[in-house]
Amino acid sequence: MPELSVVIVATDNEQRAVMQVLVDGTSVARTVHTCASFPVAGSDPITRRVRAANPDVTLVDIPADNPPLALRAIELLHQEMPEAAIFAIGNLNQPQIIVNAMRAGAREFIERPTTTTDLLEAFVRLTTAQRRGRQEGPRGKVYSVINAKGGNGATTVAVNLAMALQSVHGQTALVDLAPLGHAALHMNLKPVFNVADATRNLHRMDASLLESFMTRHNGGLQLLAGTNMPAAVDPSTAEFVRLFDMLVTHYRYVVVDASSRFDAASRLIASLSETVLLVACTDVASLWSAARVQQYLGETGSRERVRLVLNRFRKVPGFSESDAEAAVGAKLLWRVPNQYFAVSGAIDRGTPLMEQRNTEIARCFSGLAQELTRNDVEAKRAAWSLFKSV
Ligand X SMILES: Nc1ncnc2c1ncn2[C@@H]1O[C@H](COP(=O)(O)OP(=O)(O)OP(=O)(O)O)[C@@H](O)[C@H]1O
Q: Return residues touching ligand X (CB under 6 A).
A: 147, 150-156, 178, 182, 259-260, 311-312, 336, 338-340, 343-344, 347
Task: Classify strands 57-61 and 85-90 as parallel, antiparallel or unpaired.
Answer: parallel
- From the CB of 182, what's the least distance to ligand X, in Å? 6
Alpha-carbon span 328 to 291, nearest angstrom: 4
Nearer to Mg ion, 55 or 153 (CB): 153
- Look at residue 93 and give its three-state secondary structure: coil
- From the CB of 326, what's the least distance to ligand X, in Å? 23
Nearer to ligand X, 150 or 170 (CB): 150
- Identify what 151 binds: ligand X, Mg ion, none; CB under 5 to 8 Å per kind: ligand X
Mask for 143-182, x = binds Mg ion (CB under 5 A): ------------x----------------------x---x
Alpha-carbon span 387 to 382, nearest angstrom: 9
Sequence letter at residue 217: H
- From the CB of 178, what's the least distance to ligand X, in Å? 5
**Residue 108 contacts residue 129 (beta carbons within 8 Å):** no
Alpha-carbon span 167 to 217, nearest angstrom: 12
Point out which residues pair with 215 in neighbouring strands: 223
- From the CB of 350, what's the least distance to ligand X, in Å? 12
Residue 376 phi, psi (nearest 5) = -75, 140
- Identify what 249 binds: ligand X, Mg ion, none; CB under 5 to 8 Å per kind: none
Residue 311 found at the interface with Mg ion (CB under 5 A): no
Alpha-carbon span 175 to 248, nearest angstrom: 12
- From the CB of 179, what's the least distance to ligand X, in Å? 8
Burial class of residue 306 in the structure, from the number of CB atoms within 10 Å of its CB (0-12 exposed, 13-18 middle, 19+ buried): buried
Residue 227 found at the interface with Mg ion (CB under 5 A): no
Count of Cβ atoms closer than 10 Å to residue 274 Cβ: 15
Nearer to ligand X, 135 or 344 (CB): 344
Sequence letter at residue 94: Q
Residue 266 found at the interface with Mg ion (CB under 5 A): no
- From the CB of 180, what's the least distance to ligand X, in Å? 7
Residue 40 phi, psi (nearest 5) = -115, -15
Residue 259 found at the interface with Mg ion (CB under 5 A): yes
Nearer to ligand X, 183 or 247 (CB): 183
Q: Which residues bind Mg ion (CB under 5 A)?
A: 155, 178, 182, 259
